[in-house]
Amino acid sequence: MDEGIYDRLLERLRGFKTVSVAFSGGADSALLLAAARDTLGDRVLALTAVAPYMVRQEVADALALAGELGVRHQLVELPMAEGMDDNPPERCYLCKRALYGQLIAVAQAEGFAPVLDGSNVDDLQDYRPGLRALGELGIRSPFLECGIGKAEVRRLAKALGLPTWRKPTNTCLLTRMPFGRKVTMETLQRIEEAERLLLARGYDWVRVRCHGELARIEVAAGSRARLLDEADAIIAGLEALGFRYVTLDLRGYQLGSMNVPG
């Protein structure tokens, strides 16, 4: 473990009497929650948002990991935020503004303010309008404050024995749709089931981008040949979910490939 980086993180966290951690169950928030627990003990509350456009398995993973860490944990249910029905370029801002506003309210009511999130310095290189909402709401991001990037997050998580150290980055289901596309529960469920089908076949780094009736599959470069070998079964599975066309993106898995506004 890079003890210097981790010590710097712990020292930052010692400045809080209590905290709530926005906990998705991913690599970033899991490390932040573990570090907060190591520093503050039972003065930590994990808060996991549950919204219609979030992957259900991620919520289940968050519940399990919070239990393993022995941290008090609450689910915070949220509706689709106003203005997000057509998946606008500012959806991340609208989502984070509503989501973290609710997390702040819960944290204050439970006596576990402020709210921390696991944004890291690599997030600054992507199109992340949600970071503006965090700044407006006064959300603290210890990884940003300590200059910690994704590679450091994974190294520290591995050293701490966290099962999330190599977990693929996940995002909400809206990131699988083009900006300006009408959002329906049917579409969200179709995307989630399509990715679940591929995950069940062993494709860890995967996205199914939904362009209406067309599914554009992204997998890790090393998995493309295998996917082509299994194409008939995958096509049948996705057609059964309602897709008419199934394609493989030759560029492979790309984090945020639909994040550039038109």
For residue 116, is pLDDT > 80? yes
pLDDT value of residue 1: 54
| Tens digits of residue pLDDT in 169-222 | 888 999 999 999 999 999 999 999 999 999 999 999 999 999 999 999 999 999
Bridge partners (DSSP) of residue 72 are: 45
Q: How confident is the model at residue 236 (pLDDT cuts 50, 70, 90)?
A: very high
Average pLDDT, integer, range 12-37: 97
As a whole number, the mean pLDDT across the chain is 94
Residue extent(s) of CATH 3.30.70 domains in the chain:
173-248
Of all residues in the chain, the percent with pLDDT exceeding 70 is 97
What is the pTM for the complete model shown? 0.91
pLDDT band of residue 262 (cuts 50, 70, 90) is very low
CATH classification code of 173-248: 3.30.70
CATH 3.40.50.620 domain extents, the chain: 3-159
Domain 3-159 has CATH 3.40.50.720: no
